[in-house]
Amino acid sequence: MILPKVSRLRCGSRVLDLSHPHVMGILNVTPDSFSDGGRYQGVEAALRHAEAMVRAGASLIDVGGESTRPGASPVGTSEELERVVPVVEAIARELDVIVSVDTSSAEVMREAARVGAGFINDVRSLSRSGAMQAAKDTGLPVCMMHMVGEPTTMQLNPRYEDVTQAVKTFLMERVEACARAGLPAERIVVDPGFGFAKTLGHNLTLFNRLEDLASLGHPLLVGVSRKSMIGQVLDRTVGGRLYGSLALAGLAIAKGANIVRVHDVAETVDVVRMIAAVRAAE
């Protein structure tokens, strides 16, 4: 069993104990979720969804106001702030959970941290203007994820000589960039970025080699829930990808993942608890 060098992450006022795996529940606050009603209804609906995920056993809730799935276009800062900040604030105030903010924007990072976020999840690995400094200033842990290019174009022609090596090198370079900026390695979580600038073959190879990423020594986050790599293998649309998602969540944990980012929290928590029971008997 591969363990990260740090045994716990200080997430603002809360602590994430890395001696066992955790489920991060996905909370999208993109326009579709605001399709009817105003902002207030949007916040209320988001809070209820977060509450259900916390009751189901999520340790973190990942709040995202920008879709980053393949082909999605970026969102303006003021729109993202309006979508994300009230939801982060409501969850941090009302629920016993670590609130993660899925953003690449320096302003959103700062505002989210101010209203109680405990974790920063940036699919662009703090590459946007001001993001490195903002993340550093919050004092919060940050997830660095591998992606090449932008969601709009990343799936056009992804090529690697060795995808695992490319992802490892990229992540270590981002960790070094953080260190140079004064953001310590102890605060960095890494993520291979499944579905980001990768073919099905790349995703499967990378998954098979997940131990190599766990061995970097940073806590490892994996997000594969309902993704197209499952659809491609099983020939299923998004609604039919639960069992595939659970299989990959269990396998990711077996290969050393510390956090799995999922839509189906209750089902995934059963998987995590079964693995924990077996491990406790070792």
Q: Which residues bind ligand PT1 (CB under 6 A)?
A: 68-70, 102, 121, 123, 143, 145, 191, 193-196, 221, 223, 227-228, 261
Nearer to ligand PT1, 34 or 119 (CB): 119
Nearer to ligand PT1, 170 or 194 (CB): 194
CA distance 119 to 144: 12
Nearer to ligand PT1, 94 or 164 (CB): 164
Would you call 279 helix, strand, or coil by DSSP?
helix
Q: Judge contact between 213 and 183, C-beta under 8 A.
A: no
Q: Which of 209, 227, 241, 255 is catalytic?
A: 227
Nearer to ligand PT1, 115 or 197 (CB): 197
Distances in Å between the Cα of 213 and the Cα atoms of 158, 160, 175, 183, 279 are 20, 17, 13, 20, 21
- Residue 238 dihedral angles phi and psi, to the nearest 5°: -50, -45
Q: How far is the CB of 170 from ligand PT1 (least distance, A)?
A: 14
CA 11 to chain centre: 14
CA 229 to chain centre: 17
- What's the token pair of residue 218? 């940073």
Q: How far is the CB of 167 from ligand PT1 (least distance, A)?
A: 12
Q: How far is the CB of 196 from ligand PT1 (least distance, A)?
A: 6
CA distance 109 to 120: 7
Assess whether 227 carries a catalytic annotation: yes
Q: How far is the CB of 282 from ligand PT1 (least distance, A)?
A: 29
Assess whether 279 carries a catalytic annotation: no
Residues involved in catalysis:
227, 261
